[in-house]
């Protein structure tokens, strides 16, 4: 989702700001901009095109300076047009028109009380140049400014409701940038004679690997080579106190990973799954609760149920895990969409293991749901997350870090399968502690898990067969996905992938539900994709397939090797190379990813950056 980069330095920092934006580009955005302090004034360039275009613009307009901020925006309030792009400048009364005000600001998040603040600031003579919620912050900082930007930002944040990460500088203080965060990620980059700010350490790869993770309520003062952090006290006093946050050395990883022989990052990431799963399981020599952190054993022993909180693809990983947790670990499990859970009345049980699933660890809805669960008196928290340094990992007591590596494609693939691997380990650990895992069963499951990278390679070899189907799919406008049991969430994930990147309307149903409604939709124009593993429900699923065929529907079946479903008129079968028991969702989702990918390619969509979507959803 949208990104922030800021810097104070003695050198011209514009190339660093633009390079930082490029590293965050993969997350999706609809406009971008940069502002610097130049010759005693604020200067900026903004664009609704790509960052490369912004780069040309800053060169043409000779925008240069040592103090600056930059932003990629994914619009929440106000259309994606240039005048809504960040940075925003304050326009004080009497300063409108050719003379911009003195404050420049970028923001990630949503200001919930923006209407009230806008009315108040308008009454004070401030003139708004955009429809964004963000612009109120620029004016508010200006309103509180009395020669000390740090103080003005501190005071302004006390008025803000909602979520924000901001970076601000002022015309009257040429060597200073101030940042603040509440609910949206923000990090500080420390270097010898310069200091940086970014929404993700990845943006600073190449300039510094010394990172400070800011926390909610922090306001930070950046000057060349030094910084100062204060935190809003949580005693309701509206006072701030100085804090020292640890400077960590992080492994510099670049978002701009090489594409290699692949056409898109999504394709590359689909093909990286054998490696990603292998890395995620590396070091797992046996099942033990401590895989999830010190102190996991007493928690696993105490809990009576599991509550999984997640969004999007991660929610489907959680839905798959529910089948595992109830059948293998015999523990009651519920799975909730994070944004729903936090706003509904629920009945908390303190003996619940609250499990959050998030690729980035910064998903605003999931973080808020976690805090809600905790506020209801459920202290046992665990996350399955791909980013060890994320807010979610810091918030949860226990964690399993998946090792998918940076995922650039907006549509998640390797993050999903590695989440499933982490959730399967969690199932086994809970089963063990609850006395439902014999040593023999443990050894068998571990053997199957270790074989996953090889099994995944064999599934990836199906790509040419999937491409042949994708060509037909690309001419359709609707598709139905069916699955049963633990493959129902896989059908949901397959439909989501197709929607996200090919823009074909797709829905998934548990196969048994077909006759209760969606069968009415089945015609020759509605391809029906079915995940048909050879499990206990196969015979039932075969009847459901007949129901579709009898109505002239075209069936596309991913069948296990030993199912006796043969291709015939209107029935297309791709045979999966192996039958994989409980772990088969990890294999079955792969051809669905490939189907979505190649269908999108055939339709010519922007696969890695599908319209309206963004990676790492850091706003509610």
Interface residues with ligand HGA (CB under 6 A)? Answer: 1-2, 73-78, 107-110, 132-134, 619
Q: Annotate 385-405 with DSSP letters as a single string.
A: ES-TTSHHHHHSSEEEE----
- Residue 125's CB: how many other CB atoms inside 10 A? 14
CB closer to ligand HGA out of 131 and 305: 131
Shortest distance (Å) from residue 364 CB to ligand HGA = 9
- Could you tell me if 349 and 378 are in contact, meaning their C-beta atoms sit under 8 angstroms apart? yes
Instruction: Check the CA dihedral 347-350-351-356 and report its sign.
Output: positive
Supply the minimum distance, in Å, between the C-beta of residue 78 and ligand HGA. Answer: 6
Which residues neighbour 575 within 8 Å (Cβ) at sequence distance 6 or greater?
Answer: 559, 560, 561
Report, in Å, the least distance between residue 454 CB and ligand HGA. 40
Taking the chain, what is the end-to-end CA distance rounded to the nearest angstrom?
11
The vertex-45 CA angle with 41 and 47, nearest 5°, equals: 160
| Token pair 């923000």: residue | 186
Nearer to ligand HGA (CB atom), residue 592 or residue 619: 619
Nearest 5°: CA angle at 382, between 395 and 165? 30
**Tokens of residue 141, six digits:** 């900082």
* Beta-sheet strands, E only, within 320-439: 333-337, 352-358, 381-385, 398-401
Q: Catalytic residue among 22, 268, 414, 615, which?
A: 615
For residues 22 and 71, what is the distance between their CA atoms, to the nearest angstrom?
10
Of the pair 75, 284, the CB lying nearest ligand HGA is at 75
Q: Please state the closest distance from residue 117 (CB atom) to ligand HGA, in A.
A: 13
β-pair partners for 220: 179, 229
- How near is the Cβ of 570 to ligand HGA at its closest, in Å? 45
β-bridge pairing 398-401 and 381-385: parallel
Name 226's bridge partners. 223
Give me the least distance between CB of 23 and ligand HGA, in Å please.
16
Closest listed residue to residue 493, CA positions, set 594, 605, 405, 567: 594
Query: Which of 132, 358 has the CB closer to ligand HGA?
Result: 132
Tokens of 554: 């075209």
Sign of the dihedral defined by the CA atoms of residues 327, 366, 303, 438, in that order: positive
Q: Which is nearer to ligand HGA, 136 or 529 (CB)?
A: 136
Q: Output the smallest distance, CB 148 to ligand HGA, in A.
A: 26
Phi, psi of 388 (to 5 degrees): -65, -25
Residue in 168, 204, 206 with CA at minimum distance from that of residue 189: 204
Nearest residue (CB) to ligand HGA, 2 versus 36 = 2
**Taking CB positions, which residue lies at the least distance from ligand HGA?**
2
Longest dimension (CA), the chain: 79
Q: How far is the CB of 339 from ligand HGA (least distance, A)?
A: 15
For ligand HGA, which is the closer residue by CB, 1 or 321? Answer: 1
Report residue 577 as tokens. 């190379």
Residue placing its CB nearer to ligand HGA in the complex, 364 or 385: 364
**223/4 Cα distance (integer angstroms):** 17
Look up 2 and say whether it is catalytic: yes
Give me the active site residues, please.
2, 615
């Amino acid at each position: 989702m949208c990104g922030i980069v800021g810097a104070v330095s003695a050198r011209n920092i514009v190339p660093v700001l633009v390079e930082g934006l490029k590293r965050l580009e993969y997350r999706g955005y609809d406009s971008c901009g940069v502002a610097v302090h130049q010759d005693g004034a604020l200067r900026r360039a903004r664009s609704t095109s790509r960052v490369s275009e912004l780069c040309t613009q800053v060169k043409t307009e000779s925008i240069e300076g040592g103090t600056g901020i930059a932003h990629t925006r994914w619009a929440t309030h106000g259309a994606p047009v240039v005048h809504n792009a960040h940075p925003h400048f304050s326009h004080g009364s009497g300063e409108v028109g050719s003379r911009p005000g003195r404050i420049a600001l970028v923001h990630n998040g949503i200001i919930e009380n923006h209407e009230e603040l806008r009315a108040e600031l308008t009454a004070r003579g401030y003139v708004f140049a955009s429809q964004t919620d963000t612009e109120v912050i620029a004016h508010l900082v200006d309103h509180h400014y009395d020669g000390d930007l740090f103080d003005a930002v501190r005071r302004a944040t006390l008025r803000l409701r909602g979520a924000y990460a901001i970076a601000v500088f002022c015309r009257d203080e040429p060597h200073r940038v101030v940042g603040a965060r509440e609910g949206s990620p923000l990090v500080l980059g420390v270097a010898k004679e310069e200091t940086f700010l970014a929404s993700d350490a990845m943006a600073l790869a190449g300039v510094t690997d010394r990172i400070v993770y800011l926390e909610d309520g922090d306001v930070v003062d950046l000057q060349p080579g030094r910084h100062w952090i204060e935190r809003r006290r949580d005693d309701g006093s509206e006072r701030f106190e100085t804090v020292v946050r640890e400077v960590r050395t992080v492994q510099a990883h670049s978002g701009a990973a090489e594409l290699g022989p692949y056409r898109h990052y999504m394709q590359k990431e689909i093909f990286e799954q054998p490696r990603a799963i292998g890395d995620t399981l590396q070091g797992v020599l046996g099942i033990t609760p401590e895989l999830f952190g010190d102190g996991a054993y007493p928690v696993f022993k105490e809990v009576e149920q599991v509550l999984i909180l997640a969004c999007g693809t991660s929610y489907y990983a959680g839905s798959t895990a529910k089948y595992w947790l109830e059948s293998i670990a015999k523990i009651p499990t519920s799975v909730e969409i994070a944004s729903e859970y936090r706003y509904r009345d629920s009945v908390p049980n303190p003996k619940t293991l609250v499990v959050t699933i998030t690729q980035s660890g910064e998903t605003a809805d999931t973080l808020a749901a976690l805090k809600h669960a905790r506020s209801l008196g459920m202290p046992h928290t665990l996350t399955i997350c791909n980013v060890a340094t994320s807010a979610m990992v810091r918030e949860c007591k226990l964690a399993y870090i998946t090792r998918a590596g940076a995922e650039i494609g907006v549509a998640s693939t390797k993050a999903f399968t590695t989440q499933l691997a982490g959730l399967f380990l969690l199932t086994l650990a809970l089963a063990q502690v609850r006395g439902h895992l014999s040593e023999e069963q443990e050894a068998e499951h571990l053997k199957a898990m270790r074989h996953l990278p090889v099994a995944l390679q064999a599934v990836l070899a199906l790509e040419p067969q999937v491409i042949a189907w994708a060509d037909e799919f690309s001419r359709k406008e609707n598709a139905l996905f069916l699955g049963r049991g633990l493959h129902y969430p896989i059908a949901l994930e397959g439909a989501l992938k197709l929607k996200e990147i090919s823009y074909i309307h797709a829905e998934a149903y548990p196969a048994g539900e077909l006759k209760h409604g969606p069968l009415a939709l089945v015609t020759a124009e509605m391809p029906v994709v079915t995940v048909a593993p050879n499990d206990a429900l196969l015979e039932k699923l075969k009847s459901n397939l007949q129901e579709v065929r009898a109505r002239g529907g075209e069936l596309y079946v991913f069948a296990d090797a030993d199912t006796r479903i043969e291709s015939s008129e209107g029935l297309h079968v791709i045979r999966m190379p192996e039958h994989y028991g409980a772990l088969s969702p990890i294999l079955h989702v792969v051809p669905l990813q490939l189907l979505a990918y190649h269908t999108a390619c055939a339709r010519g969509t922007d696969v890695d950056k599908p319209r309206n979507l963004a990676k790492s959803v850091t706003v509610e």
